Structure 1
Amino acid sequence: MPTFARLPAPDSVAQLVRWFWIPEWCLPAGQTSRQQLIAFPACNLVVEPAVVGLAGPTTGSSYRELTGTGWAVGALLRPAAVPHFATAPAVLRDRYQLLDLPALRERVGRAMLEPDDPPARHRQAVDAFATWLSDTVPPPRHEALLANRMADVIDADPTVRTVEDIARHLRLSARSVQRLAARFIGLPPAAMIRRRRLQEAAQRLRDDPETTLADVAADLGYSDHAHLANEFRSVLGLTPGAYRRRTDAAGSPRVEL
């Protein structure tokens, strides 16, 4: 079955990348593995053997059918990196756009062919990816770093539940927060908050079989477990119970990007 690794971003690109993720698979002829993706509210720059693409921010869950042999090396981009690859990230919502970046594809592809030891191969691929980014993307300026702070506040503070909460943390107006989100992320701030809470809920349900939906809802600030269940269905297309059952099966969905 497919394997998955997540590696921290080197210090040289810590303001550009949250982490790197690497799936690899080698499936028998005729076999397919359907992977459900529940992505973070962010863009991903993805290198595959033959192409490089930019996956825009998503508004729901998605799937990828894996066949044969393959790999990908993805970078979960921080907001500061996004304008270098997409001037209007909202246009890329739920889309995958191919990019003409042959040097990046060649460097990462060469690294993925090297050692037989997967951890060593992954480290080399991340180092190659990070070196290309640091050589190519200019250092972030003040507004870009402010957009990073906005994303950090949403990700780290479960008490942040409205655009006004974000504005207070950043000492900005709500309108300024909305402009930052439009330029650097491509989703409204309220959608980022909603998506991040669902991301955390999905991970909790997957990682802790003993936790209850009511406990998860209370910890993440939902009014009750019914509210969480409704959000789960509307955004991810399945109930929390169905998601949990699928995570117990082979080829289970994972919080991947």
Structure 2
Amino acid sequence: MENESRGTLYPARLPTLHRLAAPAEISGLVRWFWIPEWDIAPGRVSRQELLPFAACNLVVDPGFVGFSGPPTQRSFRDLEGRGWAVGALLRPAAVPYFVARPSEVRDTTAEFNAPDLRVAVTAAMTADRDGETYRGEAVSAFSAWIVENIGAPTPSGSIGNAMADLIDTDPSITRVEHIADRLSMSVRTVQRLAERYFGLPPLTLIRRRRLQEAAELLRTEPGTSVAAIASELGYADHAHLANEFRDALGFTASRYRRSNPGGRGF
């Protein structure tokens, strides 16, 4: 499984969080499942701040199934009491099942009518078993619902997945033209794919990945200068990283680093 803290701005504040790989039969539809569990002392609130992945999510909690559209900015959730959630980070190929134009549901979460999914996942998460077992059963129940309701990725959806993989794993991808060249298609086709399967411009997808990586390096490598991080991630200069970081998160890279002393958060 990939680095579990990527996209999480303050990992030390997290409740228990598990990322579980999607079973092979749905790997073209779900990137992974994420399962937070929390038990916050009475009168306390735990704020979880994220620079989310540029993807949609389907989330189940005890009373709700929600579809979350593509995020454009830093987000947070305040946790209280005791609870859990089981979320599926959706691959681009899965998105058209839920929404025709994902750009119209940016930064929103709406109830999704899937009572059978909620019942099955809740039964697994509340079973009297050890954590590894009940989380695995929750993922199995979630996966079975996806197989039954969504089916296999379409050929076009698979191209959307390939674009996502390219952006997310190749640090040399810093411009939309790079995507077009690697996938042997026009820039306009790349833009249309991004509109249909992501709901975000392709340049936004590139920027999100680089900003997540920048935040990770700022937190975990306190001895590396911001200028060196900018160079490593392919920014033209230190100022470009600083400006994008501030615009997306609302504070400077230096302030973020100070708020995570020693890479451990506060």
| TM-score, scaled relative to structure 1 | 0.93
| 1:193 Cα deviation after fit | 0.7
Q: Does 1:214 align with 2:227?
A: yes
| 1:205 Cα deviation after fit | 2.2
**How has the CA–CA distance of structure 1 residues 116 and 140 changed in structure 2, closer, same or farther, with 3 Å as cutoff?**
same
Which of the numbers 236, 244, 261 marks the counterpart of 1:223? 236
Which of the numbers 144, 167, 170 marks the counterpart of 2:180? 167
The one-letter amino acid of 2:154's match is R
Q: Does 1:236 align with 2:230?
A: no
Q: Does 1:21 align with 2:34?
A: yes
SS in structure 2 of the partner of residue 167 of structure 1:
helix
Task: Show structure 1 runs of 5+ residues with no match.
Answer: none
Q: Which residue of 2 aligns with 1:47?
A: 60
Q: Does 1:68 align with 2:81?
A: yes
**How has the CA–CA distance of structure 1 residues 236 and 61 changed in structure 2, closer, same or farther, with 3 Å as cutoff?**
same
Task: Encode CA deviations 1:190-230: one digit per residue, 9 max, x unaligned.
Answer: 11111111111112223333333222211110122222111
Question: Structure 1 vs Structure 2: percent identity of aligned residues?
Answer: 51
Task: Encode CA deviations 1:94-137: one digit per residue, 9 max, x unaligned.
Answer: 11111111011111111111244222222111111111111111
Q: Which residue of 2 aligns with 1:87?
A: 100
Q: Which residue of 1 aligns with 2:207?
A: 194
SS in structure 1 of the partner of residue 259 of structure 2:
helix
Structure-1 separation of matches of 2:242 and 2:97: 37
SS in structure 2 of the partner of residue 166 of structure 1:
helix
**How has the CA–CA distance of structure 1 residues 212 and 122 changed in structure 2, closer, same or farther, with 3 Å as cutoff?**
farther
Q: Which residue of 1 aligns with 2:45?
A: 32
**How has the CA–CA distance of structure 1 residues 158 and 111 changed in structure 2, closer, same or farther, with 3 Å as cutoff?**
same
Structure-2 separation of matches of 1:247 and 1:99: 36
SS in structure 2 of the partner of residue 203 of structure 1:
helix
The one-letter amino acid of 1:232's match is F
- 8 A contact 1:58–1:93 mirrored in 2: yes
SS in structure 2 of the partner of residue 47 of structure 1:
strand
**How has the CA–CA distance of structure 1 residues 245 and 47 changed in structure 2, closer, same or farther, with 3 Å as cutoff?**
farther
The one-letter amino acid of 2:152's match is P
- 8 A contact 1:158–1:220 mirrored in 2: yes
Which of the numbers 147, 150, 153 marks the counterpart of 2:160? 147
**How has the CA–CA distance of structure 1 residues 89 and 212 changed in structure 2, closer, same or farther, with 3 Å as cutoff?**
same
Q: Does 1:78 align with 2:91?
A: yes
Q: Which residue of 1 aligns with 2:71?
A: 58
Structure-2 separation of matches of 1:132 and 1:246: 41
- 8 A contact 1:158–1:221 mirrored in 2: yes
Q: Does 1:5 align with 2:5?
A: no
- 8 A contact 1:35–1:252 mirrored in 2: no
**Stretches of 4+ aligned residues off by more than 6 angstroms:** none
| 1:39 Cα deviation after fit | 0.4
The one-letter amino acid of 1:202's match is A
Structure-1 separation of matches of 2:171 and 2:70: 21
Within 5 Å, which residues of 2 pair with 1:65-144? 65-144=78-157
**How has the CA–CA distance of structure 1 residues 219 and 70 changed in structure 2, closer, same or farther, with 3 Å as cutoff?**
same
| TM-score, scaled relative to structure 2 | 0.90
Which of the numbers 238, 243, 246 marks the counterpart of 2:259? 246
The one-letter amino acid of 1:73's match is V
The one-letter amino acid of 1:223's match is A
The one-letter amino acid of 1:114's match is A
SS in structure 2 of the partner of residue 186 of structure 1:
coil
